[in-house]
Chains A and B, each alone.
Chain A
Amino acid sequence: AQSVTQLGSHVSVSEGALVLLRCNYSSSVPPYLFWYVQYPNQGLQLLLKYTSAATLVKGINGFEAEFKKSETSFHLTKPSAHMSDAAEYFCAVTKGSSASKIIFGSGTRLSIRP
């Protein structure tokens, strides 16, 4: 069964600093992997997705993630944090078959210090 583990329920960085949110996956087949963002009182929005093409995936708002099969990781990074990046971030995985469900991690809350 597919699953994702997000390391760190809360990450705090200074404005302008590097953002690194960690995600490790478990999958018996090559997975499709995603990062979603949730702003307060809103639904989730797709940041980026990996679907077995390039291992370095660029998303919206300057975020990117690298798929590392040897480490079963899909960490999310952004070179320079902005106050508007404060939100909850969820890593997710699916098998990619037509009937597969998307499984979300428990989330990481990102806080930005002025």
Chain B
Amino acid sequence: ETGVTQSPTHLIKTRGQQVTLRCSSQSGHNTVSWYQQALGQGPQFIFQYYREEENGRGNFPPRFSGLQFPNYSSELNVNALELDDSALYLCASSYLRSGTANTGELFFGEGSRLTVL
């Protein structure tokens, strides 16, 4: 069973640039959630994708966008980078059955650490 993998593991960008982070979900999972974890903070929910559509969004501006592909992998795109976007970006996958409760068991990747200069 392959776990959640994220790429790249580290990257450095400058203000105003754009970045794309990638996530491969765990085998058998159909849902991907993205979180931003600033240094010393808990993960903040960015959005969730289920069946290739956004299925919930946190308090992040529209310059944070995402995609989910037919194989359930996902991308997080951030445009017009700001210094405060520097953080660890975590991807988590899970299995969600339509109409049933989200039991909340997320399987996390090791994250992509973004530094914005």
Q: Does B58 contact A (CB under 8 A)?
A: yes
Residues B99 and A98 in contact, CB atoms below 8 Å apart: yes
Q: Does B110 contact A (CB under 8 A)?
A: yes
Provide the residues of chain A in CB contact with B72, threshold 8 Å. Answer: none
With an 8 Å Cβ cutoff, the count of chain A residues facing the other chain is: 27
Residues B102 and A99 in contact, CB atoms below 8 Å apart: yes
Q: Which of A36-44, A65-73, A77-85 contacts B (4 or more CB under 8 A)?
A: A36-44
Provide the residues of chain A in CB contact with B108, threshold 8 Å. Answer: 43-45
Residues A96 and B101 in contact, CB atoms below 8 Å apart: yes
Residues A106 and B42 in contact, CB atoms below 8 Å apart: yes
Q: Does B66 contact A (CB under 8 A)?
A: no
Residues A42 and B105 in contact, CB atoms below 8 Å apart: no
Provide the residues of chain A in CB contact with B48, threshold 8 Å. Answer: 101
Residues B101 and A101 in contact, CB atoms below 8 Å apart: no
How many interface contacts (CB-CB < 8 Å) are there between A and B? Answer: 77
Main secondary structure of the interface of A (DSSP, over half): loop
B16-61 contacts to A, CB under 8 A, are: 33, 35, 40-45, 48, 55-56, 58
What is the bound-complex CA distance between A36 and B104, given in angstroms?
11
What is the bound-complex CA distance between A23 and B101, given in angstroms?
23
Q: Does A92 contact B (CB under 8 A)?
A: yes
| Interface 0/1 of A74-107, CB less than 8 Å to B | 0000000000000000101011111111111111
**B contact set with A: CB distance below 8 Å:** 4, 33, 35, 40-45, 48, 55-56, 58, 90, 92, 96-111
**A contact set with B: CB distance below 8 Å:** 32, 34, 36, 41-46, 49, 51, 90, 92, 94-107
